[in-house]
Amino acid sequence: MGTGMGMDMGKDAGMGRGTEMGLDRSIWARGLTRTFADMTAVDGVDLTIDSGRIFGFLGPNGSGKTTMVRMLTTILKPSAGSARVAGFDVSEQQGEVRERVGVALQEVGLDGLMTAREMLVLQARLFRADREQARATAERLLATVGLDNVDPKKRVGQFSGGMRRRLDLALALVNDPLVLFLDEPTTGLDPVSRSAIWDEVRRLNREKGMTIFLTTQYLEEADKLADEVAIIDRGRIVAQGAPEALKRGIGNEVVKFTFASPDAAARAGDVLSRQAPDRRLDGPSLLCYFTTAAGRLPELIRTLDEAGLALEGLTVSEPTLDDVFLQATGHRLSPKQAAGNGANGAAAEVGDAAGVAGAGDSADAAAEASGRRTSKRGRRR
């Protein structure tokens, strides 16, 4: 279930880069690395996220997104490098970090036999609220995520996927965190439920100044929500910046030539190498990036015709984050493709979690990695 920690700032408040009203909500990492066995899940990642930003972290399953979140939230200890969240070191000041973050991990581990109110009251009591405060917090958060009209006797096991995601978000907000980590919060949701989560993320950022670290496979989600995005592939950051700036960086227009086969597309790439130096193969298609494409099309089509390459289709469009991902990695990112990497990603997470525990704890570590999570709650120091 979503986790979060209290807000007693202590003497080290405001030490990070970004502050607002004396509260540090920034995220900073240098050379952050996590290895297990002979595999590197996260490889020397550098990040600087100022207070009050929505940061999108893009990549397929197994690319290192969830491992990164687990290191930044103190669930996993980095193998190398360092990081600070809300001004505190994730390795040396774990309790302080946990007091200031809320976490909703990828797999929603909710008790199906409890009601939403019972879960929220329990979570609030675990964060030292008295009974009256806990009940008030539960009612406030149910309204916040749009679950206040649900039958109070309805058990969580009867909730839809969208309702469960909203409850998990509410649980991560119990302590009013400075930094909120959302690990693929809309995966598997219908468009209406996904839009509701997007609206709530925007509201939390706008009204509370909350820094939100959002991992996602959905390019549209990052494009609509994030002030800045980073693309991670095979454990390394391959592109980072504001979505619009990243898209402008590869050109103003994309011309997509589609052929009968990938071999024909590869031949077209060779034929157009001088006229379209910035290009990428994408299966049976060749994507060419231009500042202005319209005036070039007749010449490009004539060159292809003279080479005996018959077009199956042609489109001209503005660049998308999918084009940015293709440029940076050589392959596309889509939820369907990412789901195909799920087995490898799950294996990486099991191995990664097992690396935290001793040999006797490996079964528990594997269970945590598969979504049966153990909440890690900080204590006041």
pLDDT at 19 over 80: no
Cα 79-226-120 angle, rounded to 5 deg: 75
Based on the fold, state whether residues 102 and 156 are members of the same structural domain. yes
The SS3 assignment for 328 reads helix
Average pLDDT over residues 248-275: 92
The answer to whether residue 300 sits within a structural domain is: yes
Contacts of 274 (CB under 8 A, 6+ apart): none
The answer to whether residue 375 sits within a structural domain is: no
Based on the fold, state whether residues 303 and 187 are members of the same structural domain. no
SS (H, E, C) 202-238: HHHHHHHCCEEEEEECCHHHHHHHCCEEEEEECCEEE
CATH of the domain at 261: 3.30.70.790
- Of 287, 281, 283, 282, nearest in space to 314 by CA: 287
pLDDT at 177 over 70: yes
The answer to whether residue 337 sits within a structural domain is: no
Global pTM? 0.74
Based on the fold, state whether residues 209 and 292 are members of the same structural domain. no
The answer to whether residue 29 sits within a structural domain is: yes
pLDDT-derived band at 108 (thresholds 50, 70, 90) equals low
Based on the fold, state whether residues 233 and 259 are members of the same structural domain. no
Q: How far apart are CA 267 and CA 137, in angstroms?
A: 63
Based on the fold, state whether residues 237 and 261 are members of the same structural domain. no
Residues in the chain: 381
The answer to whether residue 159 sits within a structural domain is: yes
Residue 255 falls in which region: left (phi positive, over 0), alpha (psi -120 to 50) or beta: beta
Q: How far apart are CA 37 and CA 277, in angstroms?
A: 41
Cα 228-234-236 angle, rounded to 5 deg: 45
Based on the fold, state whether residues 278 and 241 are members of the same structural domain. no
Q: CA Rg, the chain, in Å? A: 23
Based on the fold, state whether residues 96 and 68 are members of the same structural domain. yes
The answer to whether residue 333 sits within a structural domain is: no
Say if CB 70 and CB 100 are below 8 A apart. Answer: no
Q: What range does the domain containing 180 cover?
A: 3-246
Q: How far apart are CA 92 and CA 17, in angstroms?
A: 18
Average pLDDT over residues 95-122: 88
Chain-wide mean pLDDT for the chain? 81
DSSP string, 342-353: HHHHHHHHHHHH
Share of the chain above pLDDT 70, in %: 81
Residue in the structure block whose two tokens are 């809300």? 86
Based on the fold, state whether residues 230 and 264 are members of the same structural domain. no
**Cβ atoms within 10 Å, residue 99:** 26
pLDDT at 127: 86
In 44-147, alpha helices (H): 65-72, 94-100, 116-126, 131-144
pLDDT at 107: 62
Share of the chain above pLDDT 90, in %: 54
Say if CB 34 and CB 41 are below 8 A apart. Answer: yes
More confident residue, 368 or 23: 23
- Of 205, 181, 215, 175, nearest in space to 4 by CA: 175
pLDDT at 381 over 80: no
More confident residue, 61 or 369: 61
pLDDT-derived band at 161 (thresholds 50, 70, 90) equals confident
From 246, 274, 302, the end of a domain falls on: 246
CATH of the domain at 20: 3.40.50.300
The answer to whether residue 276 sits within a structural domain is: yes
From 266, 294, 318, the end of a domain falls on: 318
Based on the fold, state whether residues 208 and 310 are members of the same structural domain. no
Number of domains making up the chain: 2
Q: For residue 89, count CB atoms less than 10 angstroms from its CB and return exposed for 0-12, middle for 13-18, buried for 19 or more.
A: middle
More confident residue, 59 or 102: 102
Average pLDDT over residues 147-162: 91
Q: For residue 381, count CB atoms less than 10 angstroms from its CB and return exposed for 0-12, middle for 13-18, buried for 19 or more.
A: exposed
The answer to whether residue 279 sits within a structural domain is: yes
Based on the fold, state whether residues 213 and 288 are members of the same structural domain. no
From 318, 349, 364, the end of a domain falls on: 318
> 227-241, 255-269, 295-309, 345-359: which range is least confident on average?
345-359
The token pair at 47 is 């990040």
Based on the fold, state whether residues 61 and 158 are members of the same structural domain. yes
Based on the fold, state whether residues 208 and 313 are members of the same structural domain. no
pLDDT at 327 over 50: yes
